[in-house]
Structure 1
Amino acid sequence: MTPTLFRRGLLLATAAIALTPVRAAPIRPLANDYIALAESPDPQGMPLYTPSILRLDGGRLVAAYERGGTGRANNAAYAFILTSDDHGRTWTQRGALRMTHARLFTAGKSVYYLGQKGDLQIARSDDRGETWSGQVALTQGQSWHQSACNVWHANGHVYLVMERRVGKDNKAWPVGSLAPVLLRAREDADLTQATNWTFASELVFADLIPGYRQNQPELEYFGVPFFPQAFPDRHPVATSPKRRTNSPMGWLETNVVQITDPNHLWFDPAGRTFHLFMRAHTAGTGYAALAKVVEHADGSMTTQLERAPSGKTLLFLPMPGGQMRFHVCYDATTKLYWLLSSQATDSMTRPDRLPPERYDLPNNERHRLVLHFSKNMVDWCFAGAVAITASPKEARHYASMDIDGDDLVILSRSGDARAKSAHDGNLITFHRVRDFRGLVY
């Protein structure tokens, strides 16, 4: 064969390969396998909630969760703290307390567990989670809320958000009555002392929207709320074959971050601005709620809404899974924000045609836990599905995560076929996404 004929043959073969259809590989879960850190002895009466996970220097993992329902009878402890020194394969219980909506974090040489029992509560460990102090109240006569969302370290301080319920006029799920409050404390202080915490000013969701309490919210052009609301009660969306209702709009389960990119429109060169990203309860999907906190020279902190360059207020921001509890983790190595959230696939199904095992409204899908990354907290790239179950009743949701070397360690509020519902699961499951930075493209 002459060189010319060979080249023609090569070109024809290359063209034939290029025209051959390529079958795309389906998305495979990154960490469907799990270790059951906790299992309810009473799946119908004792759901498990609020998983929190923390990786300490040296590799120790600390985890926590709480029991609900019958798990709180007879003044029993219902919040439990465990440690693992073999990468999460086995766990040892170290603490038993009475608080809810709590998360683990480090400050200085101590590990803390902060949540609420009406008032804010906190406990401390000075030996890497081996033993725990008794819990201490940080407030008096107040009502708080949260989940095990993230914690931010900056300027020699630790920052986290708890949500205070302001007023009692909301008879339904009171997320419209919540004010996300950024708490700040010095890393080297004793955080069981209330005087060592500074609280930001309060901003209540219901107060931000004219007409909210008259059920005529002045929000147009992007379909919020998706289903009608009936403040102060629930609005019936479907009654058959299963009752489904919509509570008035609100925000909850707040994560806090700082913008680190000097090119970002929201970058603060003084390092004194903190952005709050919250689950947006709108009865729809794909939106998170947004606010920010600005620190002042006198140490006080003011909570306010963000604005676009046009001057328009930014209360809602597109985010995959923003309609459910999500978790944000910043990776200094890649300078990327990682988002662990629930994936919605059928929020446009008529409520009366949802399968009976689906919990609540169409946007309340809880069995697909997915991972995204972003360099700016606005534009998100899909990194992969962490865990997916075959049934919408068998949840993988409300998860927390931390970075463990090259991996992400994840603790999920989960359930199997024995669970009461997707909301009230019977398992706390541990997952590991290996080499997570290799998912960046």
Structure 2
Amino acid sequence: MLHVTGQKMTDRLRNWLRTGIILVLLAQAGQVGLALAQSNTYRVPGVVIAHSYARTGIYLGSPSLVILGDGTLAMSHDTFGPNSKANAEEVFNSHDGGRSWSKVATVGDQYYSSLFVHRGALYLLGTSKLLGVAVIRRSADGGKTWSDARDAGSGVLATDGKYFSSALPVVTARGRLWKAIEVIDHAGIIVKMMSADVNGDLLNASSWTFSNGLTPDKNWLDGKFGGWLEGNAVAMPSGAVVDVLRVYYNFLPEKAAIVSSSDDGSHISFDPEHGFVDLPGGGKKFTIRYDPSTKLYWSLTNAVLPGSYNGNNLERARNTLALVSSTDLRNWKVRRVVLHNDDADKHGFQYVDWVFDKHDIAAVVRTAFDDDDGGAHSQHDSNFITFLRVPNFASN
């Protein structure tokens, strides 16, 4: 059962919940339908897109969301866990603003992927499998059928390492498409940026530039740096592109890291003295997008707020989903709490990908929640993929 009150919550958190979760549910009732419309019998917040019982050992992850040119919502997700093959993306469409969803494709040998639209075509950009090669595929029919990534001329972009990513933004700036990506190495997670000319053949490896790699240093943050991963390519109003990464740092305030890129994408750099910033929820995966109408950067994060979490592992504090914004990527403000559950062990609203949809934010969520078989294995091992809206996101 979703909690919107609790003795351990501060008054401020209660107020955030009143303006957050209640508005979300009202918006779904009026605009996208309560989750019951999609066979949601578990009181899961949002519209259930996919569900997998914990006992299967297959958990649901890495949701990605885009809006197609005709208004169709397209989303994808992968699976993980002891019984997952970790090598396929499931693709769904919604033609009614998110009220209902239908599965349209299973894309094999594709993983850790981001959906994006470019010149009328839909693309999946990620890896070929868990810790695999970098690959891209294209669909001309809204995600029903996909190109086959066979070689460097048809979508295999890089084979020189164990590539890693998640459902993170592909952005356009200075005539190029950009995506942050990482490589797993004996020295840790190596950060890179990949980019391509907007006029290039995106299925051809020669169209893409991969930057140099940045190696982490355990001595950063006074020796409390635990690693970085799942970076966001963010296009700034100036046209410059940066990579904003989640940071393992088990202290408050949580941190993110900002990596700079050259204009052509060939070189990235990081200044550990000034590159770390305070970001609520920065220790978990997040998506950042810039909104020119408000002139703000926005994100939905697993912020750790007063009274919201009583554990000692901030990386697994995923029971609160907060809407945050910033004018400069360095100073962040919590705008409202969107979702919260007092139980942080088996409830999580995480790995959110989202898009601006007029005055709303439309989002897909990797959700750990109650079902009729004991619920999720843990807050991390999610048993649902859900859709929700944050209505009038800029209203407070």
In structure 1, what is the equivalent of residue 15 of structure 2?
Answer: 26
In structure 2, what is the equivalent of residue 400 of structure 1?
Answer: 353
1:115-134 equivalent positions in 2, closer than 5 A: 115-116=126-127, 117=129, 118-134=132-148
**8 Å contact 2:303–2:321 — kept in the other structure?**
yes
Shift of 1:41: 4.3
For the pair 1:180 / 2:169, whether they are aligned, the reply is no
Pick one of 212, 215, 229 that aligns with 1:201.
212
Q: Distance in 1 between matches of 2:267 and 2:279?
A: 25
In structure 2, what is the equivalent of residue 389 of structure 1?
Answer: 341
Shift of 1:155: 2.4
1:256-271 equivalent positions in 2, closer than 5 A: 256-260=233-237, 271=239
Q: 1:429 to 1:26 in 2, by over 3 A?
A: same
**8 Å contact 2:250–2:315 — kept in the other structure?**
yes
Q: 1:219 to 1:89 in 2, by over 3 A?
A: closer
In structure 2, what is the equivalent of residue 236 of structure 1?
Answer: none
In structure 1, what is the equivalent of residue 111 of structure 2?
Answer: 100
Pick one of 330, 333, 346 that aligns with 2:290.
330
Q: Distance in 2 between matches of 1:71 and 1:79?
A: 15
Shift of 1:366: 0.5
Q: Distance in 2 between matches of 1:78 and 1:142?
A: 20
Pick one of 287, 294, 303 that aligns with 2:255.
287
Shift of 1:110: 1.4
**8 Å contact 1:342–1:369 — kept in the other structure?**
yes
In structure 2, what is the equivalent of residue 416 of structure 1?
Answer: 369
1:138-153 equivalent positions in 2, closer than 5 A: 138-153=157-172
1:29-428 equivalent positions in 2, closer than 5 A: 29=21, 30-31=23-24, 33-43=45-55, 45-69=57-81, 72-73=84-85, 78-97=88-107, 98-116=109-127, 117=129, 118-135=132-149, 136-166=155-185, 168=186, 177-206=188-217, 212=218, 217=219, 219-220=221-222, 224-225=223-224, 249-260=226-237, 271=239, 273-285=240-252, 286-295=254-263, 299=264, 301-306=266-271, 313-345=273-305, 354=311, 361-392=313-344, 393-417=346-370, 418-428=375-385
Q: Deviation per CA, 1:129-170, whole angstroms, max 9, x where unpaired?
A: 23222244221242011111222212232111111123x25x
**1:279 counterpart SS class:** strand
In structure 1, what is the equivalent of residue 35 of structure 2?
Answer: none
Structure 2 stretches lacking a partner, 5+ long: 1-10, 26-44, 150-154
Q: Deviation per CA, 1:348-403, whole angstroms, max 9, x where unpaired?
A: 99xxx94xxxxx82452001010011221122222211211232111101111101
**Structure with greater Cα Rg:** 1
Q: Distance in 2 between matches of 1:330 and 1:153?
A: 12
Q: 1:283 to 1:294 in 2, by over 3 A?
A: same
Shift of 1:51: 0.7
**8 Å contact 1:348–1:362 — kept in the other structure?**
no
Q: Deviation per CA, 1:33-73, whole angstroms, max 9, x where unpaired?
A: 30011101455511101011111233211100012236535
Which shows bigger deviation, 113-122 or 179-188? 179-188
Q: 1:146 to 1:126 in 2, by over 3 A?
A: same
**8 Å contact 1:200–1:303 — kept in the other structure?**
yes
Q: Deviation per CA, 1:241-290, whole angstroms, max 9, x where unpaired?
A: xxxxxxx7111110122332xxxxxxx5xx3x322111011222421112
**2:206 counterpart SS class:** helix
In structure 1, what is the equivalent of residue 37 of structure 2?
Answer: none
Shift of 1:346: 7.0
Q: Distance in 1 between matches of 2:169 and 2:123?
A: 13
**8 Å contact 2:63–2:167 — kept in the other structure?**
yes
Q: Distance in 2 between matches of 1:115 and 1:182?
A: 13
**2:49 counterpart SS class:** strand
**1:150 counterpart SS class:** coil
* Counterpart AA for 1:90: S
Identity over aligned pairs, percent: 27
Q: Deviation per CA, 1:181-240, whole angstroms, max 9, x where unpaired?
A: 11111223321211111111111113xxxxx4xxxx2654xxx51xxxxxxxxxxxxxxx
Q: 1:218 to 1:58 in 2, by over 3 A?
A: closer
* Counterpart AA for 1:275: V
Q: Distance in 1 between matches of 2:196 and 2:389?
A: 31
* Counterpart AA for 1:412: V
Q: Distance in 2 between matches of 1:348 and 1:383?
A: 15
Q: Distance in 2 between matches of 1:374 and 1:348?
A: 22
Structure 1 stretches lacking a partner, 5+ long: 1-22, 170-176, 207-211, 226-247, 261-267, 308-312, 355-359
In structure 2, what is the equivalent of residue 310 of structure 1?
Answer: none
**8 Å contact 2:316–2:379 — kept in the other structure?**
no
Q: Distance in 2 between matches of 1:405 and 1:362?
A: 33
* Counterpart AA for 2:269: Q
**8 Å contact 1:407–1:435 — kept in the other structure?**
yes
Q: Distance in 2 between matches of 1:300 and 1:152?
A: 13
Q: 1:77 to 1:323 in 2, by over 3 A?
A: closer
Tell me the TM-score normalised to structure 1 length.
0.73
Shift of 1:415: 1.3
**1:333 counterpart SS class:** coil
Q: 1:433 to 1:219 in 2, by over 3 A?
A: closer
Q: 1:78 to 1:42 in 2, by over 3 A?
A: farther
Aligned residues: 347
**1:26 counterpart SS class:** helix
